[in-house]
A = this chain, B = another copy of it.
Amino acid sequence: MFTHEYFMKMALQEAETALEKDEVPIGCVIVSNDRVIARAHNLTETLNDVTAHAEMQAITSAANFLGGKYLQNCTLYVTVEPCVMCSGALSWSQISKVVIGARDEQRGFINKNLTMHPKTEIITGIMENECSAIVKAFFKSKR
């Protein structure tokens, strides 16, 4: 039951909530022991804050929930590959696993040759088409 797709669907629901607010539709959840302990979507426009990416909010929220700043034994599901800022934050958090929907060749951390914490496992391509389609449709509507 608790497959990668199961949790990525929840992250996609967060992306859809972002879309309703006219935000770049990216969402994520953080899972610990098969339980969602944080969920967030991009709020950079609403909050007028470039740091308000989904992942940044979820990291803060999960740490609050756990009562400690390290996210060991946690998995992040995020609809789009984290940017430099978010990959840096995830590195500091020592999160165990990062599961990515769609790649972001331009802004994502992978093509910048950045690595996360040595303990962090990275998985890409879960529900890639759905995660990519919502962002592409958003930017197309803005042109």
Q: How far, in whole Å, are A92 and B45 apart by their CA atoms in the complex?
A: 13
Q: Are B51 and A56 in contact (CB under 8 A)?
A: yes
Interface hits, A70-108 → B, CB 8 Å? 70, 83-89, 91-93
Binds B, one of A33-41, A57-65, A124-132: A57-65
Q: Are A89 and B48 in contact (CB under 8 A)?
A: no
| Chain A residues bordering chain B, tally (CB within 8 A) | 28
Q: How far, in whole Å, are A32 and B73 apart by their CA atoms in the complex?
A: 42
Q: Are B63 and A114 in contact (CB under 8 A)?
A: no
For A89, what are the chain B residues with a Cβ–Cβ distance below 8 Å? 50-51, 85
Q: How far, in whole Å, are A44 and B50 apart by their CA atoms in the complex?
A: 19
Q: How far, in whole Å, are A86 and B69 apart by their CA atoms in the complex?
A: 17
> Closest residue to A91 on the B side, CB-wise?
B84
For A48, what are the chain B residues with a Cβ–Cβ distance below 8 Å? 63-64, 67-69
Q: How far, in whole Å, are A45 and B92 apart by their CA atoms in the complex?
A: 13
For A50, what are the chain B residues with a Cβ–Cβ distance below 8 Å? 59, 63, 69-70, 89, 92-93
Q: How far, in whole Å, are A85 and B112 apart by their CA atoms in the complex?
A: 13
The 3 A-B residue pairs whose C-beta atoms are closest, nearest first, are A85-B88, A84-B88, A50-B92
Q: List 15 A-B contacts (CB under 8 A).
A: A48-B64, A48-B68, A49-B63, A50-B59, A50-B70, A50-B89, A51-B60, A83-B88, A84-B84, A84-B88, A85-B85, A85-B86, A85-B91, A113-B113, A114-B114
